[in-house]
Amino acid sequence: MSIVKAVFPVGGLGTRFLPATKASPKEMLPLVDKPLIQYVVEEAHLSGITDAIFVTGRGKRAIEDHFDTIFELEHTLDKKGNRKLLEEVRKITNLANFSYVRQGEPLGLGHAILCARNLVGNDPFAVLLGDDIIRARVPVLKQLTRAFTKHGGAVLAVQRVAGPGISDYGVIKGTPIDERTFLVTDLVEKPSPAEAPSDLAVIGRYVLTPAIFRYLEQTKPGRGGEIQLTDALRKMAQDYPLYAYLFEGTRYDAGNKLGFLQATVEFALANPELGPPFRKYLRSLLEQKLRTKG
């Protein structure tokens, strides 16, 4: 079965980027020349998603406006003959059929997904988190949908994380099926390095079946009073096959300042127009620092 619906939880407060996110959504922070959330929606589009469901919150109206038609802007660009920018703007609106549902309180990822239940219906669906920006030859979500089609069960994207950093993630315990696929037998949310069942950390890409909603309903609030998706997945794995896929690609955690800066540098260097002068600038900056240090 094809996956055509995707849920984008964007109702968080963005506290790690305060004060920049006091009045502006974190998802709208620009990564070179596009907001973070657009990269994620473009990945979904390239993976066959036609219906984008945003779970929003207070102060997130800019996200809706970004993916909407702005007649005045398009008219001005058309009048000035700026066809390139006009096509770029129109392309954003045509990435998917967009719908929105409000999450009254930021009560966790599990609660956000539960808010989308009526729009998802009884279809399998994807979940993409805007904090994770991933450069890959084959979009990561497409890698997951292929695994879903092959194995017939929900699939989580995982990457290997070594050392203390594992404590920032949900971590799977699993049985290898092939080089990149694991049958999940357990999940632990943010374990200490000593308690982690593996080095396979769950990141913000999922393909889920509608069965997850029943388990989310039964999940009690955990850490921070939030409904954790990890807790619901752990219960679901006892009744249904749940898989983890070690994706191919480079992931940037743009949900923290360092990761955002790293992504900015990498994406700027890869930009055909900005890359050459930006690389030249970085080299001159490094040479200047070395001369000063010498």
The domains found in the chain, sorted by start residue, are 5-255 (3.90.550.10)
- The helix/strand/coil state of 201 is strand
Mean pLDDT along residues 55-70: 92
CA distance linking residue 183 with residue 158, whole number of Å: 12
Closest Cα to residue 9, out of 123, 106, 83, 74?
106
Report the C-alpha gap between 100 and 93 in whole angstroms.
14
Q: Which tokens belong to 40?
A: 């994620």
- The residue length of the chain stands at 294
First CA to last CA distance, the chain: 63
Structure tokens at 191: 């374990």
Query: Which of 16-20, 31-35, 65-69, 123-127 comes out lowest in average pLDDT?
Result: 16-20
Q: pLDDT tens, 185-238?
A: 999 988 999 899 999 999 999 999 999 999 999 998 877 788 989 999 999 999
Element (H, E) at 98: strand 97-102
Residue with tokens 């039964």: 218
